[in-house]
Amino acid sequence: MTASVTLAFCTYNRAWRLPKLLASIRAQTCSVPFDILAVNNNSQDNTLEVLSELQNLPGAELKVVTETQQGITFARNRAIKECLNKGVMIFIDDDELPLPGLIEAASKSIYQDGFNIVGGKVILELDCPRPKWLTDMYLPFLAAVDYGEEAFVITDTTSALWTANIAYDMSLFRDHANLRFDPRFNRIGSDIGGGEDMQLFKQCLALPNIRIRYEPQMQVQHHIEAWRVKRLYFLKLHYRCGYKQAKFNQAEYQGKTLFGIPGFLFIQVLKQSWHSLIIQLKGQPEALRQWMNACHTLGMLKGYRAKNSS
């Protein structure tokens, strides 16, 4: 197969960001020919009109498709389908800008160095002043990724890579027809807590002879809207993640249950909530992190209930 790279992004109601995004992509240089794929997911603004105008500008070719099934998993799976005959596909999001060297670093890692998956840094750009409580420990929950300045091989989820900045050797998806984003973890619009990219990352880690790299030369700037820079966002995020983790857990719990819910969860959520309250009253900075743990456990409790009532 002739070497080729497609940079793909899914978009929903962010027409105003698209001209700068396309300009940043087209400013990239790469030793391998590259093009661009935009997957419009039923945007209600003038996204299609803007994309049509951008198709006529010079630079890398822009292909536009519309995915009518609503949600990020359907849009990303559509991107995979459109790129099955390509050599490499890079995913970024429509609220990001690729920094110089991203496409070249991804292409080199896969074509020259033989990796199947490669991802890099996600640098946050907040839409508001950074509050004091938003310390570095919370940035990964806004999709920040920074594992340092040296490339290394990834073998587990402690150094997870997100679809905010990741490249795939497309033979993975040709060889494994079931390797797709799980629609059960779908997110629609501004919904939070999908978890679909972590599910796919875990599937990839389980593949035989998989080679995954962190490459710091792959960098994107990720725009964070002000509504996400709230404590409530972090609590809701963990609740939703816990809910989906429990609801879609395939393994049957073997311990004691109450109404189909593992009994230990009731005790755990009470302990975590009490502990969170105590350290918050003491004014300790890690109080938010403890409340996030409690919300995750509460989400699991609700998720198991939903699973057993369906």
Q: How confident is the model at residue 1 (pLDDT cuts 50, 70, 90)?
A: low
The first and second tokens of residue 134, run together, are: 């938003």
What is the rounded average pLDDT for all residues in the chain? 93
Percentage of the chain exceeding pLDDT 70: 96
The first and second tokens of residue 182, run together, are: 């799980």
Can you give the pTM of this predicted structure?
A: 0.92
- Across the range 240-251, mean pLDDT stands at 85
- Across the range 165-169, mean pLDDT stands at 97
Residue 20 pLDDT > 80: yes
Residue 136 pLDDT > 70: yes
Residue 3 pLDDT > 90: no
- Across the range 65-69, mean pLDDT stands at 97
CA–CA gap between residue 71 and residue 192 (Å, rounded) = 11
Pick left, alpha or beta for residue 71 (phi over 0 → left; psi -120 to 50 → alpha; otherwise beta). left
Residue 182, C-beta contacts closer than 8 angstroms, at least 6 positions apart: 73, 196, 199, 200, 248
pLDDT of residue 310: 65
pLDDT of residue 190: 67
pLDDT of residue 174: 96
- Across the range 16-38, mean pLDDT stands at 97
pLDDT of residue 250: 67
Across 181-242, the runs of DSSP E, i.e. the strands, are: 212-224
- Across the range 62-72, mean pLDDT stands at 96
